[in-house]
Structure 1
Amino acid sequence: MSQHAQELIAQHLDLWSSAITAKKTTGRGSSKKIELYGVKKLRELILELAVRGKLVPQDPNDEPASELLKRIAKEKAQLVADKKIKKPKKLPEITVDEKPFNLPEGWAWARLEDLAPMSLFDGDWIESKDQDPNGKVRLVQLADVGVGVFKNVSSKFINRETLTRLNCTTLQQGDVLIARLPSPIGRACIFPNLKEEAITAVDVAILRLMDFTVAPYVMNVANSLTFRSQVESYGKGATRFRISTGNLKTILVPVCSKLEQHRIVAKVDELMALCDQLEKQTEQSLDAHATLADTLLDALTQAQSHTELMDNWQRLEQNWDILFPSTIAGLRAIDKLKQTILQLAVMGKLVPPASRKAKESQHDEPASELLKRIAAEKAQLVKDKKIKKQKPLPPVTEDEKPFELPDGWCTVRFADLCQEVATGPFGSMISKSEYVNGGVPLINPSHMIEGKVVEDPQVSVSHIKAKELASYKVYENDVVMARRGEMGRCAVISDRESEWLCGTGSFVLRFNAEVSRPYILLLFKTRYAVEYLGGQSIGTTMTNLNHGILNRMPVPLPPLEAQKRIVAKVEELTSLCDQLKQRLQTAQQTQRHFTDAVVARAIS
């Protein structure tokens, strides 16, 4: 490796391993939930240095690339003369302005088709009716083509009769497969030796190189930034961004001697293996950090006394910089901290109970008194025939209580806390064809964002239809809740949304005026509530939440005044978490920009 390339890679190891983003990659070295952005950029840098002749030193004794291209052209002319292939359309001469950069001595620019005596083939147009699950010919699809990796994920086949009828191109081991669609467009891999015959779908082009060039070298070129930028400049299609095979043939490719191609491939493989190791070490570090965060934060919720809680918090503070680094690990830890704050809140461990003050003679009114008023009001509503009488539920048993609560709190069934749980209309009652723009809005789960309703003007119904759905109106201080998908997602109805309509897939929850709606929203964000509503606490997996499960849910209920203090403290701490998260995100963005700058400087 050149001294310049070695310095670029070795001097920035911390940068390559620490720059991490949410997963977007489809190629070599992808991880499960994240994208190791720094390692990805390092891989791109390695390939770009390779195709610019900066990864390995040139040998002046090597044959010039021009001679290699002459032999390919001669072989192609002979194939035409022997009528084994059709005479290809003459490609345009390469102009000086087209060349992306200067090449080392002995290298040459060529068009992609210049490298292939057998030309560049289209994949075959295979319709659904042509496929046969019992067929013996594998249909290689776009999803199989990774960045430098044949992913071998598709499982579709055709039979040999269809292969003959459609005159399909059978793949050969060593063919370079190039994706004509994102993401990324132009990515390439080498077709391996599969146990069955195979063809490709139309979105995958086939480059057959024979023995004149080294297939892995051409694959590496196709996965380089130089190649991709050219492909993207040709990509067309408003709905499906693609490049035609005709345009793909004209892409410029840097060519060196066959011996140097072998040296480049060997060095790329060596460095990619190092990238694999760096990636593995980074992922192991992230796993270890997640274990540390879980241990320190779980210790807070598992504390058996206030003294133990304070000791565990002090231990967390001592490891603050380790727990919240300027990486994605820190961002994940902040999310866990926010969840821990919510959990401590509903366990009664976030704020202390009210103490006697000089001019006061009472503590907080016990939650049991609030429950009595809720029960009395509910009985009156039943008597006035405003709500239906609910079937009584048994008291919460000791085994059902999720955690021990402070004095003055109580664990109740959700049905005891809530006046009414109403279901939104069934899907069959509202067709999407009945949606109008700017009518009476429907509130679906997707409109419940951060505890508020964010409507979509196009998801509404006419006033005539709204009259038919009048029983599904919502009113100020109602709480709407998702009963499928992200179950427990909630929003409080404000005066603005009063008399809008509850949409499908939602509940409307109504409470006594004294119950703190922000506390209810807080409760349903907790890990305990999310797991319960998702069925984990009752040993099932649910796709739709029903009344029975929700009404039986054990709920930690603090005194009324404590609810207000808890909400205020959670908002205060959450705001601090968000500020910390913003700082870490800014630091991460700076890392990514620096990574991009290092790559750009290296190839400029």
Structure 2
Amino acid sequence: MDTKALRQKILDLAIRGKLVPQNPNDEPASILLEKIREQKQQMFKEGKLKKKDIKNDSIIFKGEDNLHYEKFADGSVKCIEDEIPFELPEGWSWSRLASLTAIITKGASPKWQGVDYTSSGTMFITSENVGVETLLLESPKFLPEKINEIQPRSILETHDILTNIVGASIGRTCEYTLVDSANTNQAVAIIRLIAVDMVSYVVKCLNSDYCVNLMFANQVNVARANLSLTSLANFLIPIPPLKEMYRIIAHLDCGLRHISGIQSSEDELRQLILFTKTKILDLAIRGKLVPQDPNDEPASVLLERIRAEKEELIKQGKIKRDKKESVIFKGEDNSYYEKIDGEMFYIDEEIPYDIPDTWTWMRLENCCVKEIRRGKSPKYTENSAVLVFAQKCNTKYNGIDVSLAQYLDEATLKRYLSDEYMQDGDVVINSTGTGTLGRVGIYRNTDNTTGLSIVPDSHVTVIRSFSCISSHYLYAFMKAHQSELEKKGEGSTNQKELKPLTLKEMLIAIPPLSVQKRITNAIGTTFDRLSLIEESLN
């Protein structure tokens, strides 16, 4: 079930007056708005509001011609029919957000640069703390008390509405429900309504697709997107009669609570599926997923086949002879040794776990028919007959997506040898980038529906195995170690890279070829069934 779409559908019905029955005896919203205007004027007279807090107040009404008009504080009137997004039931009214508020403001954290967070004091609310209708305070931050003296208008009060107006989380809105005061920064707008009874309804309205789309449509196109307070204050908000507003909130709270319960159950099931996939891969690479047959041709025989295949490729000039070929074996003392160029090394401490007797350990470098290396830094063009496989093509959740590839300038083709073009079964590893480094995927020709040739870019490492090592098994092994690969990046925080040498030295548990096939079949069958469950959730 698409709970997000269902949630938005319910919110959309609510703000259009289609969620609960209309009662013609309800006092119309125009009366509520008139009371708000009177209260704002009184607060201004008492010095609680400033001139700027009321100068943009207006009254929106329908004229005798059934068109919408707006009357401003200076007495002028303007037809705004073109701005009205949808029709409202009788008894409802439109209002600018500014006309409902005592203040619309935000913090000003640049003045706080250099201030250290503390373990107590004034709570500091950032955009990370503003969820959809929920205040997120798992790891609260605090500021010294003196900050309140510096920024008094950004001190939060109970029932303030908080809306993210900077960055990717623009539009997330919740109510500040705590009794203790807090302070916020410039990424969060503070909306303080005159009528506290309306807070829950306005929060839900601002979280609806109608308002969120307005926020994205009005954001400033700069390096980091942001929404101005002027644009936010100008939003048209559909206002129901107060009694209907209560009925809407009651229905929404009940309905959204059920949706949250469904979403929670779906999230738990997704986590269980992810755990199951991880466990299956872990069992597979330890020889515990499928039965072992002592009659299977041992993996040590594969080494001879690899040597023969390697010699043939050397004769053809496709690869160079490895000057330091590695052979890993068990000694008479039952410990593991590695022989490199005639020299013996004890490597028992490197072996991560036990494997069946018919299996063997190999360095990844010795499993591969081509050198483990990244692609080249490409020169792009608008259109060509060759694509560039970038790290974004190796997606987090949807496998390989060649539609994200760009075109390579064919004038640079002479830089690419024939073995550098991606082939069916190539294992690809994202080798740079925070959040993507270490991600493992497998490229299949069926992923590339364009029919065009494709080469990897410099942020992707390609692993291509010998024919007697199943590429799908190798992918499963690498995928099982993805979380470890993610931690092996070297360099500064924002410039970490997974070096080819790190991958070359990786130990791979190699089963007999017949076992590799049984493992990949078992993984494929199980993952297909789990995918059906995931699809049903969507």
The TM-score range, normalised by the shorter chain, is 0.5 to 0.7
Aligned with 1:150 (options 135, 143, 167): 135
Query: 1:85: Cα distance to partner?
Result: 1.9
**Cα distance change, pair 394–153 in 1 and its aligned pair in 2 (3 A):** same
1:111 corresponds to: 96
Query: 1:173: Cα distance to partner?
Result: 0.6
Query: 1:476: Cα distance to partner?
Result: 8.6
1:76 corresponds to: 40
Q: Secondary structure at the match of 1:103?
A: coil
Q: Secondary structure at the match of 1:149?
A: coil
Query: 1:289: Cα distance to partner?
Result: 7.3
List per-residue Cα deviations over 1:255-283 (Å, max 9, x = no partner). 23433333322222122222223334445
1:3 corresponds to: none
Aligned with 2:12 (options 48, 60, 64): 48
The yes-or-no answer on 1:102 pairing with 2:87 is yes
The yes-or-no answer on 1:413 pairing with 2:350 is no
1:304 corresponds to: 291
1:172 corresponds to: 157
The yes-or-no answer on 1:389 pairing with 2:316 is no
Q: Secondary structure at the match of 1:199?
A: strand
2:467 corresponds to: 516
Query: 1:502: Cα distance to partner?
Result: 9.6
Q: Distance in 2 between matches of 1:292 and 1:49?
A: 39
**Is this contact kept in 2: 1:123–1:200, CA < 8 A?**
yes
Pairs aligned (count): 459
Q: Which amino acid in structure 2 is aligned with residue 273 of structure 1? A: R
Q: Secondary structure at the match of 2:156?
A: coil
**Cα distance change, pair 444–388 in 1 and its aligned pair in 2 (3 A):** farther
Q: Secondary structure at the match of 1:189?
A: strand
Q: Distance in 1 between matches of 2:194 and 2:112?
A: 32
The yes-or-no answer on 1:222 pairing with 2:224 is no
Q: Secondary structure at the match of 1:208?
A: strand
**Cα distance change, pair 570–236 in 1 and its aligned pair in 2 (3 A):** same
Q: Which amino acid in structure 2 is aligned with residue 129 of structure 1? A: Q
Q: Secondary structure at the match of 1:413?
A: strand
**Is this contact kept in 2: 1:491–1:521, CA < 8 A?**
no
Q: Secondary structure at the match of 1:486?
A: coil
**Cα distance change, pair 242–404 in 1 and its aligned pair in 2 (3 A):** same
Q: Secondary structure at the match of 1:63?
A: coil
**Cα distance change, pair 78–348 in 1 and its aligned pair in 2 (3 A):** farther
The yes-or-no answer on 1:191 pairing with 2:176 is yes
Q: Distance in 1 between matches of 2:20 and 2:393?
A: 56
Q: Distance in 2 between matches of 1:451 and 1:259?
A: 51
Q: Distance in 2 between matches of 1:209 and 1:483?
A: 49
**Cα distance change, pair 489–524 in 1 and its aligned pair in 2 (3 A):** farther
**Cα distance change, pair 445–260 in 1 and its aligned pair in 2 (3 A):** closer
1:556 corresponds to: 511
> 1:230-249 alignment to 2 at 5 Å?
230-249=214-233
**Cα distance change, pair 476–274 in 1 and its aligned pair in 2 (3 A):** closer
Q: Distance in 2 between matches of 1:522 and 1:90?
A: 64
**Cα distance change, pair 155–108 in 1 and its aligned pair in 2 (3 A):** same
TM-score by length of 2: 0.63
Q: Distance in 2 between matches of 1:48 and 1:477?
A: 47
**Cα distance change, pair 552–290 in 1 and its aligned pair in 2 (3 A):** closer
**Is this contact kept in 2: 1:424–1:502, CA < 8 A?**
no
Query: 1:192: Cα distance to partner?
Result: 1.8
**Is this contact kept in 2: 1:411–1:556, CA < 8 A?**
yes
Q: Distance in 1 between matches of 2:471 and 2:241?
A: 67
Query: 1:201: Cα distance to partner?
Result: 1.9
Q: Which amino acid in structure 2 is aligned with residue 553 of structure 1? A: I
Q: Relative to structure 2, which stretch is displaced further, 45-54 or 85-94?
A: 85-94
List per-residue Cα deviations over 1:391-411 (Å, max 9, x = no partner). 654348699664465xxxx64
Q: Distance in 2 between matches of 1:170 and 1:242?
A: 21
**Is this contact kept in 2: 1:480–1:508, CA < 8 A?**
yes
> 1:391-470 alignment to 2 at 5 Å?
393-395=328-330, 402-403=355-356, 411=360, 413-414=362-363, 417-418=366-367, 457=408
- More strand as a share of residues: 2
Q: Which amino acid in structure 1 is aligned with residue 172 of structure 2? A: R
**Is this contact kept in 2: 1:121–1:207, CA < 8 A?**
yes
Query: 1:584: Cα distance to partner?
Result: 10
Aligned with 1:64 (options 25, 28, 34): 28
Query: 1:170: Cα distance to partner?
Result: 0.8
Q: Distance in 2 between matches of 1:245 and 1:293?
A: 46
Q: Distance in 2 between matches of 1:570 and 1:107?
A: 62
Q: Distance in 1 between matches of 2:370 and 2:32?
A: 77
The yes-or-no answer on 1:256 pairing with 2:208 is no
Q: Secondary structure at the match of 2:42?
A: helix
**Is this contact kept in 2: 1:421–1:547, CA < 8 A?**
no
Aligned with 1:486 (options 438, 455, 458): 438
- More helix as a share of residues: 1
List per-residue Cα deviations over 1:136-179 (Å, max 9, x = no partner). 33332222222211123564444343442345421101111122
1:269 corresponds to: 253
**Is this contact kept in 2: 1:474–1:508, CA < 8 A?**
no
> 1:522-541 alignment to 2 at 5 Å?
522-526=472-476, 528-531=477-480
Query: 1:504: Cα distance to partner?
Result: 7.6
Q: Distance in 1 between matches of 2:507 and 2:196?
A: 73
**Cα distance change, pair 202–436 in 1 and its aligned pair in 2 (3 A):** same
List per-residue Cα deviations over 1:397-427 (Å, max 9, x = no partner). 699664465xxxx6463479558996759xx
List per-residue Cα deviations over 1:10-37 (Å, max 9, x = no partner). xxxxxxxxx3xxxxxxxxxxxxxxxxx2
**Cα distance change, pair 128–54 in 1 and its aligned pair in 2 (3 A):** same
The yes-or-no answer on 1:122 pairing with 2:106 is yes
Q: Distance in 2 between matches of 1:547 and 1:296?
A: 25
Query: 1:189: Cα distance to partner?
Result: 0.9
Q: Distance in 2 between matches of 1:416 and 1:263?
A: 67
Q: Distance in 2 between matches of 1:212 and 1:455?
A: 52
Query: 1:487: Cα distance to partner?
Result: 6.7
**Is this contact kept in 2: 1:180–1:244, CA < 8 A?**
yes
Q: Distance in 1 between matches of 2:175 and 2:484?
A: 45
Q: Distance in 2 between matches of 1:169 and 1:287?
A: 39
**Is this contact kept in 2: 1:534–1:541, CA < 8 A?**
yes
Q: Distance in 1 between matches of 2:256 and 2:161?
A: 19
Q: Distance in 2 between matches of 1:229 and 1:476?
A: 42
Q: Distance in 2 between matches of 1:161 and 1:557?
A: 69
Q: Secondary structure at the match of 2:190?
A: strand
Q: Percent identity?
A: 21
1:89 corresponds to: 55
**Is this contact kept in 1: 2:163–2:171, CA < 8 A?**
yes
**Is this contact kept in 2: 1:395–1:413, CA < 8 A?**
no
> 1:317-356 alignment to 2 at 5 Å?
none
2:123 corresponds to: 138
Q: Secondary structure at the match of 1:104?
A: coil
Query: 1:548: Cα distance to partner?
Result: 9.0
**Is this contact kept in 1: 2:104–2:192, CA < 8 A?**
yes
Q: Distance in 2 between matches of 1:523 and 1:260?
A: 61
